């Protein structure tokens, strides 16, 4: 798969994303007929679904949780990343309401250590569970 045009080749029930996600918004904008479920995991677990639309880190997590062995004992990836042009995945942090000091400290800490935290905690998982060419940006 190379992009959105390849995804269009699948029937509606073969393409799935989480309801209310930015991926769903993208598919609607691109006029790609698809189905939605309450979570990406539900899409992943549906044997009729061939394409799960989500961002790279979620796909890496799904791959990690759902690893399986090939007949020769080698680990195989169940997913493949297709870069969808014009999409942005935003992440947030949930904080207890009314705690201005914690909010201030959290907002200061995230930008400072974001890159090192990602590389420390997610880089190995991403290397193992995503195509290597996607990691070389």
Q: Write the pLDDT tens digit of every residue in 31-72.
A: 999 999 999 989 988 888 888 888 777 877 787 776 654 445
Residue 3: pLDDT over 90: no
Q: Is 13 helix (H, G, I), strand (E, B) or coil?
A: helix
pLDDT at 104: 84
- Gap between the Cα atoms of 27 and 16, Å rounded: 10
What average pLDDT does the segment 111-131 reach? 66
Are 32 and 15 a contacting pair, CB within 8 Å?
A: yes
Question: Can you tell me the distance from the alpha carbon of 21 to that of 79, in angstroms, rounded to the nearest whole number?
Answer: 19
| pLDDT on residue 100 | 87
> Quick check: 9 and 33 in contact, CB under 8 A?
no
Whether 56 contacts 134, CB under 8 Å: yes
Could you tell me where the DSSP H helices lie in the chain?
4-7, 22-29, 40-45, 56-65, 100-121, 123-129
pTM above 0.85, yes or no: no
pLDDT in tens, 59-114: 777 877 766 544 454 555 555 556 666 666 666 677 778 888 888 888 777 766 66
pLDDT in tens, 13-33: 999 999 998 889 989 988 999
pLDDT greater at residue 127 or residue 37: 37
Classified as helix, coil or strand, 37 is strand
Q: Encoding tokens for residue 103?
A: 């909010």
50: three-class secondary structure by DSSP: coil
């Amino acid at each position: 798969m190379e992009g959105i045009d390849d995804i269009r080749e699948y029937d509606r029930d073969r393409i799935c994303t989480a309801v209310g996600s930015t991926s769903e918004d993208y598919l609607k904008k691109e006029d790609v007929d698809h189905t939605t479920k309450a979570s990406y995991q539900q899409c992943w677990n549906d044997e009729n679904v061939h394409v799960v639309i989500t961002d790279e880190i979620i796909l890496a997590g799904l791959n990690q949780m759902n690893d399986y062995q090939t007949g020769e004992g080698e680990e195989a990836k169940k997913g493949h990343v297709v870069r969808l042009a014009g999409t942005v995945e935003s992440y947030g942090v949930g904080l207890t309401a009314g705690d201005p000091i914690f909010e201030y400290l959290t907002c200061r800490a995230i930008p400072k250590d974001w890159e090192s935290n990602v590389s420390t905690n997610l880089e190995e998982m991403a290397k193992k569970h995503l195509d290597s060419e996607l990691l070389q940006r």
